[in-house]
Amino acid sequence: MTFAIPRIATAMNSSTDARVLQTLGMEGVSLALWERSLPDELARELDALPPERLPRMRRRLAVRHVSRAIRQSCEDADAGACSKQLADVVQELSKLAMGVFASPMLELRLDVTDGQPCPKWHVDAVSGRLLCTLRGPGTEYGPIGPGGKPESIHRMARGAVGVFRGALWPGQELAAIVHRSPPREAGGTRLLVVIDPVDDAGAC
């Protein structure tokens, strides 16, 4: 009996063109990064909100319901001033995630964090994940090295969109780009968009 030796996917593709996200499915690619900025008006409105008024949510839903869900979260948090622009941005991210992951259902989170909730370098226990920081310092990432720590450390810019392979990515390649929350000293409350595909059984 012979066993296939898993290949290690360590490549990172980045571009100012959103189509780069589709390269996550290419051989050897563990991270595709769309380098872009938030609309200035949305960035100002989010920065002006006290942390307790930043919208929070965690829901499984189809892309067509995302905009309404974001608007409702903004209303619940008394963050109505930014609801339309935020809904438009997250709706776009959800459409991109649906295309990259070929998943009509998504698990969408708006996480508000202070400090470093995920300090350990890791690969997520999902097939894939989209991350985009809307406020505060961006996610740190790098190619895995000895001991599970990255050989080099990079930080996503605010507004940049990264799609990462997770531990459950299908195929024979092992995801080898790890990431973590930025250290506390990076400063500021974060608002992070997290989007995962939902499989046919309804589990991420």
Average per-residue pLDDT in the chain?
92
Q: Is the pLDDT of residue 3 over 50?
A: yes
Predicted structure pTM score: 0.93
Please identify which residue in the block is written with the tokens 């067509």: 64
Residue 14 is predicted with a pLDDT of 98
Of 134, 112, 6, 7, nearest to 52 by C-alpha is 112
Q: What residue segments make up the domains of the chain, in order of their start? A: 7-197
Token couple for 35: 């380098």
Mean pLDDT of 127-148: 94
Would you tell me which CATH number, out of the four given (1.20.1050, 2.60.40, 2.60.120, 1.10.3470), belongs to the domain 7-197?
2.60.120
Asked whether 18 and 185 are in contact (CB, 8 A), the reply is no
80-98 per-position pLDDT tens digit: 888 899 999 999 999 999 9
Separation CA 169–CA 25 (nearest Å): 10
